[in-house]
Chains A and B, each alone.
Chain A
Amino acid sequence: MPTIRFKVNGREHTVKDLDPSTPLLWVLRDSLGLAGAKFGCGLGMCGACTVHVDGQPVRSCLTPASSVAEKPITTIEGLAKDGKLHPLQEAWIEHDVAQCGYCQTGQIMSAAALLEENSKPSAEDIDMAMAGNLCRCGTYIRIREAVQAAAQKLDASKESGQ
């Protein structure tokens, strides 16, 4: 079986002897030791496995490893920059969003992709962008608040030219 090279969170990784159809999720979790992306359904239905490929949110449980070789991949572990948490991560902590917490890395990655594209999302924009992420514990209300808070913070820091 082939050797595949991955670019994850700005670092190069080589995985030898890899079945090319292996979903990216299991490469991250088992081979690269990045456990932030979670397994929930394996069917693209829950969003727990969300990561970014080329800046776009993807369901890593359905993404064959071979299709993302050499492409820039960002996981929750790479969201903080230079030791500073992403405003979404900060908002998630401050708003005490998590219950069990299992869905939350996927939620944050979906929200991060939304804010990349739309820095002033309306309530509906947020609901639509997050509709693919299930939270079995029902933390949706706090997720909405946290996304809104992070969007405002990001916007304010952009306006002040930082």
Chain B
Amino acid sequence: MNDQGLHDVMREIEAQDALAYSSSPMNRRLFLRVSGVAGGGMMLALQMGLASRTTALAAGLSGDEPFAPNAYLRISPDGSVLIYAKNPEIGQGVKTALPMIVAEELDADWSDVQVEQSEIDQSRYGSQFAGGSRSIPSNWDPLRKAGAVARHMLVAAAATRWGVSADQCKTEKSAVLHPASGRRLGYGEVASQAAALPVPDPESVPLKKRSEYKLLGKRITGVDNHSLVTGKPLFGIDQKVEGMLYASYEKCPATGGKVAQANLEEVRSLPGVKDAFVLEGNGKVDELMPGVAIVADSTWAAINAKRRLKVTWDESEASKDSFSGAVKKAAELAGQQGQPLRQGGDVAAAFASTAKTVEAFYSYPFLSHAPLEPQNCTAWFKDGSVEIWAPSQTPQRAVTKAANTLGIPAEKVTLHQTRIGGGFGRRLINDYVCEAAAISQKAGAPVKLQWTREDDMAHDFYRVAGFHSFKGAVNQSGRLSAWQDHFITFSSNGNRPVSGGSMGRSEFPEYLLENFKITQSLMPLSTPCGPWRAPGSNGIAFAVQCFLHELAVAAGRDHQEFLLEVMGEPRWIDPGNARSLHTGRAAGVIRLAAEKSGWGKPLPAGRGRGLAFHFSHAGHFAEVAEVSVDADKNLKVHKITVAGGVGPIINLSAAENQCQGAVIDGLSTALGLQLSIEKGRVQESNFHQYPILRMPSAPQVDVHFIESDYPPTGLGEPALPPVAPAICNAIFAASGQRVRELPLSKHGYSA
């Protein structure tokens, strides 16, 4: 089977870094260099949604035009302000936050603003996806400029009407004011006049300073809240199309198995079933793998019939993976050196001359994403074209993947973006979209494909397990003097780690150390893996930040002080790259988390605090966990204090919610989540075997931000990696027990 697509999705997301910074002059050269694209200005225009302007001009202006200087906003003569949210909403809050950015620069009164999910259209909106915590950083400049350009034009229109200079006018609450004469014109009143003006060069329009913000940084409630709490049909699973049938799809539980035989006749005769057929698939795990489709007149008929389906699988090319086997193999490999990946200084010399060395072996398991809305998609193939309603984190990729699966040009695919019942990285891959499209094509009818929870757990793109064999040293003065990490991961082709299974150069902390050596071993794997909230960092942080704590303990040092020493002088690690670690920002959040959590204050016996810092997705995060542990390993997590640095906060309500959610996700995962894989099959099938944290175990989570003028970075992911190491370091502080393998439940802990 072919898993190239799983690697491509991350590469495309990472390429957004270059694009995001291409719009500031300082970085445009870098972008042109990185991307090799000559027409940077054109790219910017596209990204800014300026392409729509051409259409508006071509259509001619009639006098009561709405004002739509770009694809992001539309002001009608009645004063209503419509702002389009371009990226998928998976719970990270961008449907509210992205329009807030436009509204701020536009100086629109938020209560006048209506938000709509935009179409999926690369030519007007540039890249539209939800991944890599990139929605805010990569849209920050284009959206601010979109709002500022519009405001500039509205002011110009009002100034002309009044016969005054634009400099004498100001704006507030969706209106242009002329303070000298006390005159005021609502945006709606000048909309059609503004629509007749030429759109200025976005670079020439000044943007607000952070101190001038009226909306950004406030707590704004989600634009869909009312619809959500009244049960409106917002999600993929809620879509309905006239004449729609309902489908289920059974694939081999061991990835790569093919249908040898199936009781199709019997299934076709079951109540409500319209048809049952085999799809051969195209061998791509991120498109269409072989299976049996059942098409019925209700969801229940489709999923109930699947229980009566009997398939004999040809597993000659299917996965034979065994996690228990891999664990044994990793333990053997731990004693070896591994292939050199990167090194600096001289670790051997440092170990030879050192006061203390510490060795430890850490590991973490495979995980499922388990978004609460099981995968689903509605597709209608008709006359060589397909219309799709999909909960996808990468809708533009979904279009090309569906086109490829069906063998039709991408122009023949129309995709409507729905709200998404949880992403966590799972819906970066569009296999369920391709399946729905193929089933509709074969069934000759619109269908809604519905996966069960069991399908979802059996056919995920899992967070890959990982193993670290560490050796570290502290010198006479208690300083970290050498760091060696033999990283044991998995590969599907023997050359490079699976998606989410590599330890990139940007993983903390090698770049801060004088003497380090990173080596790697690859173990074979057929189970498909993919990005899971904070890919790479989500496991690596546990191992690295716990081992750092072990070294601090060996040196007899306070963990906070030890970490701050590792950071050293305030500096950018990669000068000129605002998405790299800044040691001063790191030190700032470490100090803040320590201060807010009462770090250093005495606690009763059996209670302890643990600290961890991690840098990922350009976010600086330090967290302190306070826990109690008793002799029976009953664990109570009292409180987790989060300190984060991500530049200015866009929406404080959603920002805090994201951090609290990431902490609960991190705790849930560290505490009890693991998948076992045997004979190529994931053994866990539903929530009884995959115990996601429930309310009684949820701790208090206090969130603090250090706001700054650095460009804003995303919040979907970076608060998660420090959670597990903070908890495990706290368990050590409380009980003297060091846990080096997740989940904690495997070692008898329960919450």
Binding site for B on A (CB under 8 A): 1, 19, 22-23, 26, 29-31, 33-43, 45-46, 48, 75-77, 79-80, 85, 88-89, 92-94, 96, 98-105, 108, 126-128, 130-144
Contact = CB atoms under 8 A, between A and B. Distances in A.
B698 interface: yes
The 10 closest A-B pairs by CB, nearest first: A36-B231, A138-B664, A100-B91, A102-B421, A99-B91, A76-B231, A138-B661, A140-B698, A45-B687, A101-B228
Contacts of A135: 372, 695
13 contacts: A22-B298, A35-B237, A39-B299, A42-B452, A43-B686, A48-B372, A85-B229, A96-B225, A98-B222, A99-B658, A100-B420, A105-B228, A141-B664
Contacts of B453: 40-43
A129 to B, nearest CB: 9
A141 B660 CA distance: 8
Interface in B299-325: 299-301, 303-304
B68 interface: no
A96 B422 contact: no
B10 to A, nearest CB: 22
B688 interface: yes
Interface in B407-431: 419-424
Contacts of B692: 134, 136
B700 interface: yes
A126 B698 CA distance: 12
A41 B686 contact: yes
B653 interface: yes
B231 A31 contact: no
Contact of A105 (B231, B653, B686): B231
Given A40-B373, A45-B688, A101 B230 contact: no
A101 B235 CA distance: 9
A51 to B, nearest CB: 10
A29 B299 contact: yes
Contact of B695 (A26, A93, A108, A133): A133
A41 B368 CA distance: 14
B668 interface: yes
Contact of A45 (B221, B240, B686): B686
Contacts of B240: 33
A46 B452 contact: no
Contacts of B663: 138
Contact of B696 (A102, A108, A128): A128
Nearest to A105: B231
Contacts, number: 189
Interface centre among A40, A46, A94, A142 (most CB of B within 10 A): A40
Given A19-B271, A96-B657, A101-B224, A38 B229 contact: no
Contacts of B421: 38, 100-102
Contacts of B658: 99
A80 B230 CA distance: 8
A46 B91 contact: no
Contacts of B226: 93
A40 B374 contact: yes
Interface in B209-237: 219, 221-222, 224-226, 228-235, 237
Contacts of A89: 229-230
A130 B371 contact: no
Contacts of A131: 694-696
- Of A34, A36, A85, most buried by chain B (CB within 10 Å of CB) is A36
A93 B93 CA distance: 14
Contacts of A101: 91, 222, 224, 228, 234, 419, 421
Contacts of B92: 99
Contacts of A143: 695
A105 B272 contact: no
Contact of B372 (A29, A40, A77, A85): A40
A101 B237 CA distance: 13
A41 B224 CA distance: 24
A105 B231 CA distance: 6
B381 interface: no
B696 A127 contact: yes
A104 B228 contact: yes
Given A99-B658, A100-B90, A26 B298 contact: yes
B686 A139 contact: no
A78 to B, nearest CB: 9
Nearest to A91: B229
A102 B695 contact: no
A107 to B, nearest CB: 9
Given A98-B228, A136-B370, A136-B422, 13 more contacts: A30-B299, A34-B231, A43-B688, A45-B688, A76-B231, A92-B228, A98-B229, A99-B657, A100-B91, A101-B234, A101-B421, A102-B421, A136-B665
Interface in B332-356: none
Contact of B371 (A22, A92, A100): A100
B646 interface: no
B391 to A, nearest CB: 10
A14 to B, nearest CB: 16
A46 B374 CA distance: 12
A75 B231 contact: yes
B662 interface: yes
Nearest to A29: B299
Contacts of B116: none
Contacts of A128: 696
B100 interface: no
B1 interface: no
A144 B660 CA distance: 13
